[in-house]
Amino acid sequence: MVKVKNISLEKIADPDLVLALKRWYQLCGKGGLYRREELGFGPLVGAPEILNGRSSVVAADADDPMNYVFAFFGGDFNVYDDRNFVARYLHDIPDKDVMATIITCYAEAIEARAPLAHRIDGIFDGINLTYDRIIFPTINKAGKVDRLVTLSTEIRRKQPQAARTKPALSL
């Protein structure tokens, strides 16, 4: 089971998440939307905390959220036995509970049309993990949210006793 709690952006403590949020506000103003086609992705996703961190860019322009596509994974992103999720769909996530939770979070960010933060706690690939994540929506020329840039930071990781010899999972 995966638990999700909305958290206030002001309560984010991780330095990389705080820096990414500051960059967002510098690029598009307080509560503004990032106009990807006008500004390009460089200023947003070229930052070290995103490019090399636990981040992803999801193409969210399909009608069915299960068909959203992972367009980018940061360097510290290993999922389900290190499978490369670039160019894969949300419906490719093997854990359907995790997939449903992600879709719900993404829908909230699309509706909010502003950065949104969550604290997520659950068992991912056999590891109990708690992490904070900010979702940054970007818009296209038509003003519709078409990409979701995520940045996550791990709060707590606990492996079951029997699984301590397996490689750790990074989200």
Q: What is the pLDDT of residues 19-58, one digit of tens each?
A: 888 888 888 877 678 887 787 777 776 666 666 667 888 9
Q: Hey, what are 18's tokens?
A: 């705080």
Please give the Cα distance from 88 to 70 (Å, whole number). 6
Please give the Cα distance from 142 to 36 (Å, whole number). 11
Higher-pLDDT residue of 165, 48: 48
Which CATH superfamily does the domain covering 3-163 fall into?
A: PAS domain (3.30.450.20)
N-term to C-term CA, the chain: 16
Q: Hey, what are 110's tokens?
A: 């699309």
Phi–psi pair at 61, nearest 5 degrees: -100, 5
* Percentage of residues in the chain having pLDDT higher than 90: 31
Q: Per-domain residue ranges for the chain?
A: 3-163
Q: What is the pLDDT of residues 80-105, one digit of tens each?
A: 555 567 788 999 888 888 899 999 99
Please give the Cα distance from 105 to 102 (Å, whole number). 5
What totals of helices (H) and strands (E) does the chain contain, helices first?
5, 7
* Percentage of residues in the chain having pLDDT higher than 70: 80
Name the DSSP letter for residue 67.
G
